[in-house]
Structure formats: structure tokens, C-alpha cells
Chains A and B, each alone.
Chain A
């Protein structure tokens, strides 16, 4: 167990940011900490890093209590902040060298680590650039390089893709998977469920400082009582047809609004095939049909009654 957070309570005056929060991170996994803005993800990270005081609970990292002077534990942690935290006056290479140098004393080792980090995030041709000359995506990559250059065993990434274009985002996510393949354990916080679904081996969904659910993606989706959702663009649908669709096997809910038919199934196979057969038999013309598997957003919606991005 790399991180063990037990009954953590953090209050900001009257506001309870973390309410008896528990978390366990195993070695080698990519743990996604998923929750809407203000759910307590960053507060959790700051408490784990011993930056924030907390009111109650215990935190252990690498099996030892975490404290500001737990240098041995800190030496094996890499942190990628939510905001880009680099020096504007230093070049890409100097920034990485500076932060790496706070962990690695040996100059020669550090040089090779810096080179690897620059190459890893794809900033080789920008190594002499100052941060203000970099685009948003490149800045994010620099931010990551500064956090991982010293080859930590545990890497904590706090919403590292906020404000990043899709291409850079994919590149960052692939990089994170690469770090994990090299042996690093990753804690990844985000309010983007797609990212968490894409890279995380285990997910903790939190809201209002509490753990709502945790498990693998499949385990979480199995917690909710519906399967796929089928959407059909239809120009006309009679009430009796809608009533008939509702009677079809495994249909949990069916709605028709603005020429869109949305059917949610609780289970079953060949649901799409059965639906299309029915539409043809009733001679109902349709434009576009697509099926959606349940997402973590559906899980969050099911548990809280709110969308993840509310």
C-alpha cells in the first residue's frame, strides 16, 4: 500500500471539505480520483502532500506517517500541480533541472534524468525556450516534466489537462500510461470522466468530501441498474408505438422529444437489432441510430442525482 488515508476531516470554517474521507492506493495502479469541481480532490492531494493542516485522521505514504519533514517519502513523490508552476525566467531545460535538483543531488545522474524527461514529454526542440514562448499544451508538458523528472515511485497529477487542446490532452494521457508502464504508481484527479475511463485501472468517485463509490470501471458500472442507451432520430412516432417500445424486453425507459427517441435498457443483448426490426415492421423512417454504453457519469448521476459537471 503506497498511500493510506484514514478518516480524514478537513474544515474551512463552517465548510467541511473532507468528511471522514478514506483512500487506499496500491503499488502499480493508476487510481483516478473523480469528482466535480469543489468535491475535495485537490484538498485531499494537498493533505496527502502535507501542505494542508487537517482536523482529524491519519495519512501514511510508503508505510510512514506523512509530515513536512518526511523527506525520505517526499523524495519518491512527484507532483504535477493543477496550475502550471514553473519559473518564467528559466528555460524549459533549466526549469526541469531546477526542480529535479531539489530531489537528486548527483549532477551527472540529474543530467541524464533531465534529458530523459525532456524527451519523454516531447520538448526536445523547445529546451531553450522560456515558458512564455510555449503554447498551453507545451506548458502543461513542461509542468509534468518538472514533476516527474526525478523518477518518483508515486506520481500525483492534479487535473493536469485543464485548458489543454484535445491533441495535447491525448499526448499527456498516453504519457501518463507510459509512466505507469515504467513502474510508477499514479494518482490522477480529474472531473473529466472520459480521461479517467481512458487511463485509470481503479476509480474513486468523490463528492462533498466523501467517497461515493470505488472500484474498477466495470465494477462501478455494474453498480447501476441499467445497460446501454439507444438514441434514434425519428421524424414521427405515434404514442401507441412509444407504448409498444416500452413493452419490449429489457427496456427500462423510453422518451421521445424533438424528433429524438431515447431508450434506456437495464440489460440484455441484441437490443438494437430488436428495435430496428420493430421500426421497420411499423414502416417508421429514421435517420441516425447510435448506442451508448453506460459511463461513469451515469454512475455519478445514479448515486447523486446530479451530472458530474454540474
Chain B
């Protein structure tokens, strides 16, 4: 009996074009739109671009060997290159700044005077604030602090200059940096993860349809199936398995499209990625089943309720505004733990960014808990075999 119900349910669902559009085609279209909207931003935050800076090639600068040395080291091509320096005239530097081709101008002029050690106070000129400008300020602050220290030490006399220079060059850090990941952070991935979460929740449309077709008080088909000499559990399981198969298949298609066509990075832990998809589909199906059983309204109202609530959950998970996920995590952390969309998106994110699986399994565990609660609520309603009214 299970196979009979399962086979025909599969046929019904595969031929249901309206629901197929929302559960399969719509996420693909939205993913494509995201790609064209964010495509040029994807991966850009992963690599660091050296900060462009213009340095006025004044006599004072040429006399400042320490600053020349420092800027030279920081501008040396390689993985650690911090600055992209252009040595130029004052007027040319100003033009580059005005045109936005450099983040700032470093000037060492006679006005600032020349220190005893041959170093001079330097001036940074910027026209706006930003990451590049902050880096330039930090570099100049470091230079000023070091040169002031050197000047102070040298002014006391009887100091071995070569030893001082060696000590200044050998900085010792008393903190240790530990990286949780080898992955490059990519801000835009969050949108695609939230999109997959949305597709998972839209599987609720299948769950809702199952409910409509099994309950005698919700549809004539439900009444006809209820009078058949078949155990209700066999029918429910047949319907559910077919729905899960369809929604998981749709999820795989979406995943393949995102990974192979749009080059969205889900990391290399494919087994866990698929586990997240499966858990997401189950959460979506059970969520839709609950919406279908909770009230006796028309199918249209139920669909609208399901789509609206799914979209709200996805919004809170950062689908439309990525920072929303962090805002919710800070302002209403409980919501982050019960929002299935946030849990799915965060599971993908934690797989991508962290080398350990602690956070991933927390998300999957919470997602399973959400599904269990939804299934229990559905069971309370679906177990009825006789109704007060039809």
C-alpha cells in the first residue's frame, strides 16, 4: 500500500506545475538574479588590495631614511604588501587624490622641521574616511611613535645606534593569532546560503498540500481517502516520502546550479552540505504540514500564510539584508536558534568558514528539534480520524 500511495503521490507532485515553480524554478531565478546583482562583489572581500598612497618626493622626504625604509618595506610586492606607493610631486599627488586614485598623500616638508635623527614629522592628507585611510593613519602613527622613541633615546646620548635600530626592527608580539579557518571570508555568500534556506522552507508547500489531501475536513479527496480501508499512517508516510524526495531533488538541482554554474562556494564538505539540505527539507515540509493543519481556511489563504511566514523567516536570516542576521543574533538571540532559515544558512556558513563542526552540529541539532516539534503538532491534528464537522 505504501508503494502504491508513494508512486501516485510522486506523479501528482511532479505534475503540479504551480508548486514546482515556487519550489524549484523560483529559487533558481532568484539565485541568478543574486549572481548578476552581487557577482562583481563575490570574492572581492576575500583578497586584500594594497592601499594606494602618493608620497611627495620632497628634499625632506629624501633626507628621511627611516620613513623611506619603512614605506619601501611596506610597498614591497608580495603576499604581505600593505601599500602601493607612488612617489611624485606635490601637485601630481593632489591630482591623484582628487581623482580618487590614491587614498591619501604623505608629505614630509620643511614646515614640519627635521628631527635630530634625520627623521621628520610627516603629514597625511585624505579627503574621506575609510579602510585605506585608516591603514595609512596607522602606518604614519607607527612611524611617528617609533621616530619619537628613537629621538628620545638618542637624545640621552651614549647609545649604540646600530643596536637601537636592531631592537626597533625586532618587535616581539605578546599575543598569538589563531585562525579558525583557512577559508577567505566572503560577505556575499550569506545571500546564497539564505536563498537555499528559502528553497528549503518553500518545500512547506508540498507538506501543506499533503495535509489538504489527507484530511477529510479539508478536502473531498481527503474524505475519499479517509473512507478507504487503508491505515492513515501508511497514506501519510507515502505522501511524505514522495514530498521529501521531490523537495530534496529540487534542493540538489539548486545546489548544483549554484556551485557549478554560479560558482558559489559551499566548501568541500559535500556530505555535510547534503545533510544540511536534507535537514532543511524536512524542516520545511514539517513547517508546511503544520500551517496546513492549524486552521480550516481556503488553500489560497494557507499558501499566502506559508509563503509570507517563510519570507519573514528568510528576511530575519539575511535573505534581503544580510546584516539582519547579525542584528537578530545580537538583539533577539533566541530567534536565531528557532528560526529554521537562520539555522540552515548558518549551518552552511559554519561549514564554509570553520574548521571544526561544533557550530554546524548545533545548527543541525536545533533544526532537527524544530522539525520534531512541528511533526508532533501535526501528529496531534492528523491523528483525528473522525471530525466534528466536514
Contacts and interface: CB of A to CB of B under 8 A. Distances in A.
A168 to B, nearest CB: 19
Interface residues of B, number: 28
Interface string A62-89: 0000001101101101010111111101
A47 B390 CA distance: 10
A74 B228 contact: yes
Nearest to B15: A89
Contact of B227 (A49, A87, A98, A101): A49
Nearest to A98: B8
Interface in B1-27: 1, 4-5, 8, 11-13, 15-16
Contacts of B216: 51
Contacts of B229: 71-72, 74-75, 102-103
B385 interface: yes
Interface in A82-130: 82-87, 89-90, 94, 98-99, 101-103, 105
B213 to A, nearest CB: 8
Nearest to B221: A85
Interface residues of A, number: 33
B45 interface: no
Contact of B226 (A51, A82, A83): A51
B224 A99 contact: yes
Given A71-B229, A72-B229, A102-B230, A51 B386 contact: yes
B220 A51 contact: no
B380 interface: no
B388 interface: yes
B389 interface: yes
A12 interface: yes
| Interface SS majority for chain A | loop
A46 interface: yes
B227 A51 contact: yes
B260 interface: no
Contact of B390 (A51, A77, A99, A146): A51
Q: Which 9 A-B pairs have the closest CB atoms?
A: A85-B220, A68-B385, A102-B228, A89-B15, A71-B229, A74-B229, A85-B224, A75-B229, A89-B12
27 contacts: A46-B223, A51-B223, A51-B226, A51-B390, A53-B386, A53-B387, A68-B226, A68-B385, A69-B231, A69-B385, A71-B229, A85-B221, A85-B223, A86-B221, A87-B8, A89-B12, A89-B13, A89-B15, A98-B8, A99-B224, A102-B5, A102-B225, A102-B228, A102-B230, A103-B228, A103-B229, A147-B224
Interface of B: 1, 4-5, 8, 11-13, 15-16, 216, 219-221, 223-231, 385-390
